[in-house]
Amino acid sequence: MATVQILKDLGEQMCLKGTELRDFIKEQQDLEREERNRLREEQDKQREHDKMQQDKQRTEKDKQRECKKEQREREREKEQHDKEQHEKDCEFFEIERMKFERDKMDFELQMKAIEVKKSSSVKVRMRRVKIIRKAQ
């Protein structure tokens, strides 16, 4: 930024005097002001652009974070579902095993009942045979 004194000296070297010197100084100051304004606007635009980029990156990171969170939630739900299904399967197989054991015990009881029946009918026959032999 050129000071008024520097601009005055420069204008005098260009052989400017009076109104022409004043107009030259004013024109140079206006040019410098316009340049500063242009630079400020460019910087503002760059800051705005940078801010938009940061916002865009932040939004993208937020989306990625949300996506990962949802994926973890789905995995957790799947694990929970798999665990519950496994527990149901275990309960089902335990119930089936217990039914099998009950059926096995029922069968064994029926077999014992048949043996007892056979045994008692054999005893009855043997008593009859003894009674018949005694009678003879």
The reply to whether the predicted model has a pTM over 0.75 is no
pLDDT at 122: 67
Mean pLDDT of 19-45: 94
Mean pLDDT (the chain) is 90
CA atoms of 87 and 93, how far apart (whole Å): 10
> Higher pLDDT residue, 20 or 124?
20
* Phi/psi of residue 11, nearest 5 degrees: -65, -40
Contacts of 83 (CB under 8 A, 6+ apart): none
pLDDT at 64: 96
Mean pLDDT of 79-106: 96
* 22-31, 72-81, 118-127 — most confident range: 72-81
Would you state the structure tokens that stand for residue 16, as one six-digit string? 């400017």
Residue 18: which region, alpha, beta or left (left: phi > 0; alpha: psi -120 to 50)? left
pLDDT at 1: 63
